[in-house]
Amino acid sequence: MNISLKGAIFSTVGRFNLPKVQGFIRWNSTMKSQQPTLFSEVASLSSTFKNSLSRAGFEKMTPVQQRVLNEVFPNEENAVVQAKTGTGKTLAFLLVAFKDVLKGKPRLNSSKIHSVILSPTRELALQIFEEARKLTYGTGIRVSYAIGGNSKMREENAIRRGNANLLIATPGRLEDHLQNPRILESLSTDSFILDEADRLMDMGFAESILNIHEAVTTTKTRKLCFSATMPPKVSNVFRGILGTDFKLINCLDPNEPPTHERVPQFVIETKLDKVFSSSLSLLQQLTSSNPSSRIIVFLPTISMVDFVGGVLENHLKIPCFILHSGLTTAQRRSITESFRKCQSGILFATDVVARGMDFPNITQVVQITGPSNTDDYIHRIGRTGRAGKTGEAYLILLEQEKPFLNSIKHLPLKRATIEPLSDQALSTLRSDIEKSSKFSRTNALKTLYGSKPHVFSGSSQRRATGKNIHESAIALFSLHDVPGLMEELIYKSRGRGSPKGFRGSQLKYPSSSSSSFQRRPRSLPSRGRYQQSRR
């Protein structure tokens, strides 16, 4: 593989420390040595689920599963579990949910929902659903989900007809359903579980979660919160949900360096008009050196994912997949499963898969252009080097994005160069770009501008060179023949709207380049208020 390193430009300094969480009644960060390590040894786990776990190939517990099943599972305690993704926490909280559903077997014949799991994204909710469905086969437990992008009426009918004892939901969609008193009446929640709680907070769901909690839980409901980090905004929500009497189980190994400190990372600087050729050259070299490569490629917007993935897949010899929030739930589910099962492949995606999603054996993560912040960079590279496996991370950075390197100078990042494409390969790539629809090229360009205002904004010091930046951007997409487009984009990137008298193209701007959005929380009826209204 012809990727040359120019020596480390950054070195690791210190270790990432989680903020201290104040106000916890009990801290329990050490595992008792006498705890069983096999699922078959857990006395409080029913034979039904021991058999299900055995059929699914689960025998030995991970440390997270060991802690949860021995310290939380047998009791009715509320708990916060601090654990990273990829540590087996999904199976751990599912077994707790199953136990709460099965407290009384006659209840399986009722139409009530006895456990609710909240997940930050549709992809993660579907991943949890698939895991739950496999484990509940033959148990009588009915599992369903409520997520955006799916038929709301179909979900509502499934809930009202009693097709769910366990409901896995995203906060926004569950809020929608809880506006219907009949749905609220279907809930008899014995356990309320938050997965990826820190990401739920990052996405602006804090108040929504508190409202949902008030609406669907009682004082008898067991509450579990799983989170990788404990920033103050997360601990504040935990206190609102759990009060002060709960157990904190810390499953982080203080001696294990975080993924972003141990995964080899490389930066490749490129000119704006060479982004596609540099990306293709890198991917070709990675896949040719390892035919079993499993790569995730992150791009800043949905339109960029569609365009870049669609063009580059014609030049790569392994299966390519495209995943973002603009696809239907069925499409996303199918693509996720296909990529998860393939022996080699490349997934072009937005940040919709940057956190929580578990794709096994990812060999490399490639970021085409810089992320919007350091956290996004860290979460993206966290998709590789998981579960004891090795991995690599590559960042293809625009010249105008060099200041971003200052924010990650504490990471083990090295400069790298790649062999340029041959003249013939470059000509073929340019031809494929020109053959793609002008609509897709224009939308990709517009969303690229919207996602990187720091690159394209025209400060007074940079206006002299600003036109060259915009010309390079338009040339990148072979759009030099679009009348007035450059003037429109330059004005918009400077916050001026469109030039006076200029209508611009008739193409619509995509609503967002992000895979998630913040919902304005709505006031939901609490269980007590609803019961009073029924009287």
Binding residues for ATP: 83-90
Q: Determine the Cα–Cα distance for residues 45 and 62; give it in Å rounded to an integer.
A: 16
Closest CA to 269 of 373, 393, 415: 415
Helices (H), 323-452: 329-341, 374-381, 423-435, 438-451
Tell me the binding residues: 83-90
Which DSSP helix (H) or strand (E) runs through 308?
helix 302-312
Are 339 and 321 spatial neighbours (Cβ–Cβ below 8 Å)? Answer: yes
Helices and strands counted in the chain (H then E): 21, 16
Question: How many other C-beta atoms are found inside a 10 Å radius of the C-beta of residue 113?
Answer: 24
Q: Nearest 5 degrees, angle CA 271-CA 276-CA 320?
A: 150
DSSP class of 499? P
DSSP assignment of 106-165 equals GGGGSS-EEEEEE-SSHHHHHHHHHHHHHHTTTT---EEEE-TTS-HHHHHHHHHTT--S
Question: How many other C-beta atoms are found inside a 10 Å radius of the C-beta of residue 9?
Answer: 12
- For the record, the structure tokens of 352 come out as 């919709």
Q: Which distant-in-sequence residues (6+ apart) come within 8 Å of 410 by Cβ?
A: 10, 12, 13, 14
- For the record, the structure tokens of 363 come out as 């060999």
Q: Nearest 5 degrees, angle CA 94-CA 100-CA 101?
A: 90
Three-state DSSP at 215 gives: helix
Strand 413-418 and strand 3-8: pairing? antiparallel
Are 63 and 87 spatial neighbours (Cβ–Cβ below 8 Å)? Answer: yes
